Amino acid sequence: MRKKNQECAYCGSIGKVTMDHIPPKLLFSRPLPNDLITVPACDKCHGETSKDDEYLRLALQMRDGIAEHPDVIKSRPTLLRSLEKPEAVGMRNSVLGSIVGAELCTPSGLFIKDILAMKTRMDRVDRVVARITRGLFYRYKGYIVPRGYDVVAGSKEAVDKLPPDMRNPLDEGVLNRLLAVPAFCIGNGVFSYRFGTDKCDANITCWILCFYEQAGFLGMTFPISCLNPSGAAWHTITTNLPG
């Protein structure tokens, strides 16, 4: 539904908007849950998202451990039909070009067999996660991420690879506290999130996002002055979550 003179949740422009689903509704099977989150988005911000949303769905649903999720099974025919469309030739070529050989191993590292896997472009995935973080920030704060602040996002795997001197303060100051509180869940385990706000700066926020009960991500809003050139903000500032 289009409205007039409403603020875009992403860029803050005032004008005609449509409602953007946070997270993208294509991640859910039908019938859609009745508690989906939406935020207002201008044509420019909303129009730039569809291809990345499609890529996120594909990347998530091809991950090991997610393929058997009930919503993934129900929505698989829709995903396959979307790839058959003439306008999806770019996506098809991208998928085919990203198929690589890989080794399937046990959690302890023992080799099981050789498999085919998709080499995921995490920059595209992280872009959607950052947008979801912006949308949730707007949903709870009632205003866009302020000027002078930015959003950083990364997968659980990326966070796990941080050196101990970076990872330990993140665990102790943020993640352990957030993981101790109940998650907000939407759909049949398709999406859940936890969040906290810095007690000294309400615009510093941390969001733990999970898709299909398996794929975890971290999104954070930070002052731009605290971002290092790589964009890895979570080790450059100490957050002070209540607790």
In a domain, 12, yes or no: yes
Same domain assignment for residues 101 and 168: no
Query: For the chain, first and last CA: distance in Å?
Result: 40
Whether omega for the bond prior to residue 31 falls within 30 degrees of 0, making it cis, is yes
pLDDT at 239 over 50: no
Dist CA 145 CA 143 (whole Å): 7
Q: Cα dist. 3→43, 63, 198 in Å? A: 12, 38, 33
Same domain assignment for residues 111 and 20: yes
Its pTM stands at: 0.83
How many domains is the chain partitioned into structurally?
A: 2
Choose the final residue of a domain: 118, 153, 180: 118
Which residues lie closer than 8 Å to 147 by C-beta, 6 or more apart?
none
Same domain assignment for residues 92 and 32: yes
Same domain assignment for residues 106 and 188: no
Same domain assignment for residues 215 and 128: yes
In a domain, 146, yes or no: yes
Exposed/middle/buried for residue 66 (C-beta within 10 Å: 0-12, 13-18, 19+): middle
pLDDT at 231 over 80: no
Crossing angle of helices 89-97 and 50-61, in 10° steps, is 40
pLDDT tens per residue, range 167-219: 888 888 888 989 998 999 999 999 999 999 988 899 999 999 999 999 999 99
Same domain assignment for residues 153 and 173: yes
Name the percent of the chain lying above pLDDT 90.
47
Domain of 191 in residue numbering reads as: 122-133+142-235
The confidence score (pLDDT) of residue 125 equals 93
More confident site: 240 or 141: 141
Handedness of CA 24, 177, 224, 226 (dihedral sign): negative
In a domain, 243, yes or no: no
In a domain, 204, yes or no: yes
Same domain assignment for residues 55 and 114: yes
Same domain assignment for residues 126 and 161: yes
